[in-house]
Amino acid sequence: MTGIRSLVVYHKLLVHELTVEPRRVKATYTIVKKDGETVSNQLIYSYNAPYFDRKKAADVNLASLMVAQVALNYGLFFEEIVFDGLFDEADKRFLTDMMENTSREILVLKFYGRNEFLKPPYDRLPVENLHRYTAASLVFKEDTFFNLSLNRTERSPKEDEYVILSSGGKDSLLTYGLIREIGVPHPVFINESGRHWFTAVNAYDHYEKIEPNTVKPWCNSDRIFNWMVKQMPFIKENFQNIRADIYPIRLWTVAVFLFGTLPVALKRNAGNILIGNEYDTTVKGNFQGISHYNGLYDQSKYFDNALTRFYSRKGWNIRQYSVLRPLSELLILKILVKRYPGLQAQQVSCHAAHEENGRMLPCGNCEKCRRIIGMLMALEEDPRRCGYTDEQIKKGLLALEKRGVKQLGSDAAHLYHLLLSKGLLSDNEHTRKLGREHREIVSLRFDRERSKLEDLPLHIREPLLEIYTKYSEGCVRLHDRKWHTFTPDKAFLDQPYFLRKSDEHKTT
C-alpha cells in the first residue's frame, strides 16, 4: 500500500460510441483493465419529445457533455479517461476542473473519512497533500463527429422562464410554488432508474394535472453508478446489503441530473435553472491541509455560480441558482405548508417510501421522517396531509424524545425549543439539552458566504422577499459571528449580480 495512487486500479475509462437521436442520447462506458480485459455498459438519457439533431453541432456538443458527467467521479481510479464526442475549450476546462474538485472531495470524504463500504487496507490510506489529486490524464477525441464544426452562438434567453430540477422534496415543491406565482415554471423530473424515483411520483402525478410545462426525462445513471462500484476491488462485494446514509464512492451526482435538464432549458429558451438548496448546504472545510466542501459541493452556491459562469462562456447565458438560500429547513417547510398546502401534500422526503393504492407513502421510521413529523407538528400542521399515520406521528415524536436529528446545531435546537414550548415532547435530559431558541432559524439569513443577495439575479429579488417576509420574523445579517436584525433597503436590493467576466473560471 503506497498511498493515494494505489487507488489507480484500471488503465483506461472510455466514454465513447456516442449516439444522438431526436429523443435519446446514449454512450458506452468501457473499463479497460490493466491486463487488457474490457467490460462495458451503456448510459442513456431519453425524452418524450425531440430535443436533438445529430446534424447540429450544438446538439452533439450538449449530448457529449451530458454523458460525460458520470465519469467525473472516477478520476482517482484510472490512468486515462477518454471522452469521445464534440467539445470546445470551455467544455474541456470545465470537465477538467470539476473532475479535479470531485477527486479531492471523494478522497477526503470517502477514503480519509469513515466509509463502511471500503475493504482494508483502503480504509486506512495515509493522508497526502498533492498539487493534483486526479490520477487520470484526460483525452478529448472527436472520432465520431469529426465532420461537425462547433461555433459559439450568443443566446438571449427569457428572463421570466425557469427550469426547475424537480422531485418530491419540500425544497423542490416550494421552488415550484414560488415560481408559479412570479414567472413561468418548467418542472423537469429526471426519472432515475431505481427506487430514487419513488420520492418524486406523487409530485409528478400532481404536476401532470396542473402544469402543462412538466417534463420527465429518463436516465439510467443509477445503474451505471452501481455497475462501476461492482468493478472496484476496494469496495466490499456485499455493498448493496450495507445500510448507510452515503454512497460508496460517488459525489458528483446532482450534475448528472442537472445536465439532463439542459436540453429543455435550451430548447425552451429559459433564462434560469433552479435547484432547491437551502442555507446549510454551502460548507467549506479543511482536512489536514486539504480543502473540501464536506461532500456538498454540487448542492452549494459555489456549484451554482460555477455553472452560471460556464453557461456564460458557452454563450447560453443561463443563470443557475437556488431561491431558498436565505431559508432554514424549518422556514422552507413553513412557507410551503402555509402558502401551498396542496403542494405540501405531495411531499415525500423519505428514501424508503413505498407504494400504496397508487400513491407513495413515507416509511415513518427513518431520521428524515421523524424530522418532517417534528417540524410539521412544531408548525401546528398535520403530518397526515403528506401520508403519515397517527401511529407514525406518535412514534416519530417519541423517537425525537430519545434521538436527535441531522440538522445544523441551531436548526435542531430551535426545533426542539418549539416542540417543548408547545408541549409536544416530554421535558427530559435529552430534550432539555437540545432545546434552545434561535430566532435566526425563522428569519431570512444573509451573510458574506452562504447566502448573498448578489447571487440572485436582480429581477427576482423583490418578488421573493415580498413573499418570504410574510412568513419569516424579519431579516438578519451575520457580523462578528452574531446575527443582527436589519431592514433591507434599496441599496441592499440593488447590489450588482455576482457574475463578472474576470472570474469566469472560478469553481468557488
- Establish how many alpha carbons lie within 13 A of residue 201's alpha carbon, considering only the half-sphere containing its beta carbon: 19
Query: CA nearest 344: which of 400, 388, 296, 310?
Result: 388
Strands 218-219 and 38-46, bridge-based pairing: antiparallel
Q: Which has more pLDDT, 246 or 456?
A: 456
User: Virtual CA dihedral for 84, 87, 93, 97, nearest 10 degrees?
Assistant: -40
With pLDDT > 70 as the criterion, what percentage of the chain qualifies? 96
Poorest-confidence range of 87-91, 128-132, 242-246?
Answer: 242-246
- Under the banding of pLDDT at 50, 70 and 90, the label for residue 200 is very high
Spatial contact of 446 and 326, defined as CB atoms under 8 Å apart: yes
Average pLDDT over residues 251-258: 96
Average pLDDT, the chain: 94
Query: CA nearest 386: which of 355, 336, 354, 348?
Result: 348
Q: Which cell numbers hold the place of 265?
A: 432549458
Mind listing the pLDDT tens digit for each residue in 382-405? 999 999 999 999 999 999 998 877
- Give pLDDT, residue 240: 76
- Give pLDDT, residue 500: 67
At 496, the amino acid letter reads P
pTM score, two decimals?
A: 0.94
Spatial contact of 472 and 444, defined as CB atoms under 8 Å apart: yes
Poorest-confidence range of 38-47, 52-61, 371-380, 402-411?
Answer: 402-411
- Checking if the pLDDT of 194 tops 70, the result is no
Mind listing the pLDDT tens digit for each residue in 283-340? 899 999 999 999 999 999 999 999 999 999 999 999 999 999 999 999 999 999 999 9
Mind listing the pLDDT tens digit for each residue in 1-14? 578 999 999 999 99
Spatial contact of 278 and 375, defined as CB atoms under 8 Å apart: no
Mind listing the pLDDT tens digit for each residue in 338-378? 999 999 999 999 989 999 999 999 999 999 999 999 999 99
Which residues 6+ apart lie within 8 Å of 356 measured at CB?
none
At 232, the amino acid letter reads M
CB atoms within 10 A of CB 342: 11
- Give pLDDT, residue 501: 47
- Checking if the pLDDT of 118 tops 50, the result is yes
